[in-house]
Amino acid sequence: MKKVAISVGDLNGIGIELILRNHKTISNIVRPIYCIDEYMLAQACNKLNIILPNDFNILNPKSEYFNIESGEISKESGKYSFESFQIAVKLAQIKEVDAICTLPIHKKAWELAGIKYKGHTDALRDFCNADAIMMLGCPSLFVALYTEHIPLREVANSLTKERLTSFLINFANSIKSDKKVGILGLNPHAGDGGVLGNEEDIIYEAVLEANKTSNIYDENILVPDIAFTPHMRAKYSHMVAMYHDQGLAPLKALYFDESINVSLNLPILRTSVDHGTAFDKAYKGVELNNLSYINAIKYIAEN
């Protein structure tokens, strides 16, 4: 059974409740180590009226205590979530654990805490000195993003044969798939033969070049507005989108409750839930959907 470090995310959100209420299930899949200290854990348990399990293994972040304020954005919660994440990464880097799983942070709380990263993936690129690839989805379909959190107006200029070829080779080396991987075009109708744009020529050339190494990519560039139809989803287990919303808007419409986030092309394996802190639900006693969290753990167990 694999050992997994789990960072607790923003303690003003739902992450710690997901952890506590699903500990028994998770412990049947992996051996979890939770990156939280006794004081903050006790405070969360008290607010949630949950009895701490006897086999709950923790490793203390070196962070200051603060009062948990459900649904509030604060620099204290941002700092704590970042330091919990740092410990999880360190455990993976020194091979104390096989992988890490991260619960949701709040980007504004990180900013308030003076943290220079926009999120986990940005930080992992720096920590590991590697070009992390963001992939989201579930066993029905995974989608990797060529560009991520950049303005839409910058996407076309970011598309070069050299950069996309490198991305595709790294992605091919990071996944297991019995099917070809589908590549979405950038423009409507995949350019319509150049009438609506010619970036698909760059994409096609990069696919041909990457296939010299991997040969897992379908060389027919997909028209984006039909790529997620039932026929296409049956054909592919993985796709590559050129930009954030092109891939994630349809993916989340189809699989929001069960999707996960996976960081690929790193020396460590990291998975995460594919949802946010849900401040509106935190510590309210409402039922939380745990599919994303369970799937994030299962991915580690199976890869």
Domains of the chain by start residue, with CATH = 1-130+267-303 (3.40.718.10), 133-265 (3.40.718.10)
pTM: 0.92
The residue behind tokens 């349809």 is 250
Q: Is residue 136 within 8 Å of 178, Cβ to Cβ?
A: no
Q: What are phi and psi of 77, to 5 degrees?
A: -70, -35
What do you get for the CA distance between the two ends of the chain, in Å? 12
Q: Is residue 4 within 8 Å of 95, Cβ to Cβ?
A: no
pLDDT at residue 62, rounded to an integer: 75
- Laid out side by side, the sheet with 238-241 consists of 31-35, 3-7, 99-102, 270-273, 260-264, 133-138, 141-145, 238-241, 182-183
Instruction: State the pLDDT confidence band at 64, using cuts at 50, 70 and 90.
Output: confident
pLDDT at residue 118, rounded to an integer: 87
Q: What is the DSSP letter of 226?
A: G
pLDDT digits over 217-230, tens only? 999 999 999 999 99
Percent of all residues in the chain with a pLDDT value above 70, rounded to a whole number: 100
Instruction: State the pLDDT confidence band at 63, using cuts at 50, 70 and 90.
Output: confident
Contacts of 120 (CB under 8 A, 6+ apart): 85, 102, 105, 263, 270, 272
Cα dihedral: 221, 226, 229, 233 (round 10): 10
Instruction: State the pLDDT confidence band at 165, using cuts at 50, 70 and 90.
Output: very high
Q: What is the DSSP letter of 97?
A: S
Q: What is the mean pLDDT of residues 245-252?
A: 96
Burial of 263 (0-12, 13-18, 19+ CB in 10 A): buried
On the question of pLDDT at 149 being above 90, the answer is no
On the question of pLDDT at 104 being above 90, the answer is yes
